[in-house]
Amino acid sequence: MFSLNGTSFTNNSLSGVSRCLTQSSRRVSAPMVVVAAVSSNGKPGDGSVSVLVENALTESAAPVEMEVKSTVTGGVQDVYGEDSATEDQSITPWTLSVASGFSLLRNPHYNKGLAFSERERDTHYLCGLLPPVVISHDLQVKKMMNSIRKYDVPLQRYMAMMDLQEMNERLFYKLLIDNVEELLPIVYTPTVGEACQKYGSIFRRPQGLFISLKEKGKIHEVLKNWPEKKIQVIVVTDGERILGLGDLGCQGMGIPVGKLSLYTALGGIRPSACLPVTIDVGTNNENLLNDEFYIGLRQRRATGQEYAELLDEFMYAVKQNYGEKVLIQFEDFANHNAFDLLAKYGTSHLVFNDDIQGTASVVLAGLMAALNLVGGSLSEHTFLFLGAGEAGTGIAELIALEMSKQTGIPLEETRKKIWMVDSKGLIVKSRMEMLQHFKRPWAHDHEPVQELVNAVKVSIKPTVLIGSSGAGRTFTKEVVQAMATFNEKPIIFALSNPTSQSECTAEEAYSWSEGRAIFASGSPFAPVEYNGKVYASGQANNAYIFPGFGLGLIISGAIRVHDDMLLVASEALAEQVSQENFEKGLIYPPFSNIRKISAHIAAKVAAKAYELGLATRLPQPKDLVAYAESCMYSPAYRSYR
List residues forming the annotated binding site for (S)-malate.
Answer: 241, 497, 541
Q: Which of 408, 406, 405, 388 is nearest to 396 (CA)?
A: 388
Respond yes or no: is residue 188 known to be catalytic.
Answer: yes
Pick the catalytic residue from 158, 188, 199, 640. Answer: 188
Give the phi and the psi of residue 42 in degrees, each rounded to 5.
85, 5
Q: Give yes or no for a contact between 364 and 398, defined as CB atoms under 8 angstroms apart.
A: yes
What count of residues does the chain have? 641
Q: Which of 262, 274, 281, 195 is nearest to 235 (CA)?
A: 274
Using alpha carbons, list the distances in angstroms from residue 349 to 26, 66, 231, 257, 364. 59, 54, 15, 22, 25
User: What contacts 47, CB < 8 A, 6 or more positions away?
Assistant: 39, 40, 41, 638
User: What contacts 546, CB < 8 A, 6 or more positions away?
Assistant: 259, 262, 263, 267, 329, 352, 354, 358
Q: 440 burial class (0-12, 13-18, 19+ CB within 10 angstroms)?
A: middle
User: What contacts 418, CB < 8 A, 6 or more positions away?
Assistant: 383, 385, 396, 399, 400, 442
Which residue(s) pair with 535 in the sheet? 528
Radius of gyration of the chain (CA): 28
Angle between helices 390-407 and 563-575 (to 10 degrees): 80
| Measured distance CA(577)–CA(370) in Å, rounded | 10
Which residue(s) pair with 209 in the sheet? 277
Pick the catalytic residue from 112, 174, 198, 259. Answer: 259
Binding-site residue numbers for a divalent metal cation are 331-332, 355
User: What contacts 182, CB < 8 A, 6 or more positions away?
Assistant: none
| Measured distance CA(330)–CA(354) in Å, rounded | 7
Q: Which of 494, 506, 498, 503 is nearest to 471 (CA)?
A: 503
Q: 50 burial class (0-12, 13-18, 19+ CB within 10 angstroms)?
A: middle
Q: Give yes or no for a contact between 444 and 419, defined as CB atoms under 8 angstroms apart.
A: yes
Q: Up-side HSE of residue 530: CA atoms within 13 Å toward CB?
A: 18
Amino acid letter at 538?
Answer: G
Q: Give yes or no for a contact between 405 and 367, defined as CB atoms under 8 angstroms apart.
A: no
What is the pairing mode between strands 233-237 and 327-330? Answer: parallel
Q: Give yes or no for a contact between 140 and 171, defined as CB atoms under 8 angstroms apart.
A: yes
- Would you please indicate which residues are annotated as catalytic (active-site) residues? 188, 259
